[in-house]
Amino acid sequence: MHELSIARNILELVDATCHEQGYSGVETVRVNVGKASGIMTDALVFAFNCAKDETLSVNATLEIHEIPVGGRCRECNSDFISQETIVLNCPRCGGAAFEITTGHELEIFELEVDG
Amino acid sequence: MKVKMVKKILEANDRIAAGNRALLANHKVEAVNLMSAPGAGKTTLLEKTIRALDGRVRIGVIEGDIQGTHDAEVISGLDVPVVQINTGGACHLDANMISDMLQEMPLDELDLLVIENVGNLVCPAEFDVGESAKIMLLSITEGDDKPLKYPLMFQKSEVLILNKIDLAPYLDVDMEKIRSDAKKLNPDLKIFDLSARNGQGMEDWCRWLEDKVKSR
Ligand SMILES: [Zn+2]
């Protein structure tokens, strides 16, 4: 259950940002989670809700934006997006010489805050 | 009101990991993060490795366990510095736990620090602890479907050790499938076949480790 550690990290970062910028509470925390990051999104929401007491996010909802796995193939020179969690071959040409460019994200990108 | 921010969620962990890495580099200590599922044979491998490198590489061990001290007791019987972390339920070690333990370690007297992670194929791969290489141990008794089920650990590791190969004749496991799936996930992955129990293949692995320490 590393989702609990991840949730605690999110709550700490949000609290730190709110203290820095003078916000008193949070309504929504929006995060990007790549499909290849190894995070179970349901477990992350569950962990967030368990851990949010006594933080500025106590009334907040965690909103997860899942980012698909994407890559750039050096054999057919195309960019691709996959619905899979792992990509072993370029979906266009079947080649193996590609780089994964998206799908490992794990970041907070937006908060809805009270003034 | 909307507030835009871009914060890597593991930023705090990664910052502490960078500090650990710098501290280890200052003391010229190479650190490897040994990861596997429970029962893959990490402690036996470590025990045999320490014996094999006795007199050649000065090794210290950080032993991570959810609870209990059994593995640490096995290792401390070998007369190397060992500290134990009980994560109290957490399924992985993080950089902060390692940072605390580095204070307890006689770093100036070490060439190599082995961090034996908690037995789990998912979470340990997620957390940088400041190691210079991640080593994954897979027992062939676990089956040949593991690379595609747990891709992240294969992708992040520099070395894959296939352990318990002495059992291959008794198992219905396709070792070539493990190797080729693992290589597809990580073309640079270095693979060692060995049996920590009977010593087969241990030499190649130990030589790799010794070379890694020497080239630091
Ligand atoms: Zn292609």
Chain B positions touching A113 (Cβ under 8 A) are 1, 3
CA-nearest residue of chain A to B151? Answer: A86
Q: Does B5 touch chain A (CB under 8 A)?
A: yes
Report whether pLDDT(A37) > 60: yes
Torsion sign over Cα A28, A30, A31, A34: positive
Cβ distance A111 to B2 less than 8 Å, yes or no, reads yes
The better pLDDT of the pair B24, A39 is held by B24
A85 CA distance to ligand 1 middle (Å): 18
Residue B24 has a pLDDT of 98
The whole-angstrom separation of Cα A44 and Cα B66 is 21
Nearest to A38 among B5, B152, B187 (CB): B152
Q: What string of H, E and C letters represents the secondary structure of A29-44? A: EEEEEECCCCCCHHHH
pLDDT at A1 over 60: no
Which bin fits B172, alpha (ψ -120 to 50), beta or left (φ > 0)? beta
pLDDT tens profile B161-199: 999 999 999 999 999 999 999 999 899 999 999 999 999
Token match 């691709």: residue? A80
**Start-to-end Cα distance in chain A:** 34
Q: Which has the higher per-residue pLDDT, B152 or A23?
A: A23
What pLDDT does B205 receive? Answer: 98
Collect all residues of chain A within an 8 Å Cβ-Cβ radius of residue B6.
Answer: 107-109
Q: How far is the CA of A37 from the centre of ligand 1 (A)?
A: 23
Of A36, A85, A111, the CB nearest to B3: A111
Q: Flag whether pLDDT at A95 surpasses 90.
A: no
Residue B5 has its nearest CB partner, among A9, A85, A108, at A108
Q: What share of chain B has pLDDT > 90, as a percent?
A: 76
CB-based contact B10:A9 (threshold 8 Å): yes
**pTM of full prediction above 0.90:** no
Residue A61, Ramachandran bin (φ over 0: left; ψ between -120 and 50: alpha; else beta): beta
CB contact burial A77-99 (16+ within 10 A = b; e otherwise): eeebebeebbbeebeeeeeeebe
pLDDT reported for residue B121: 86
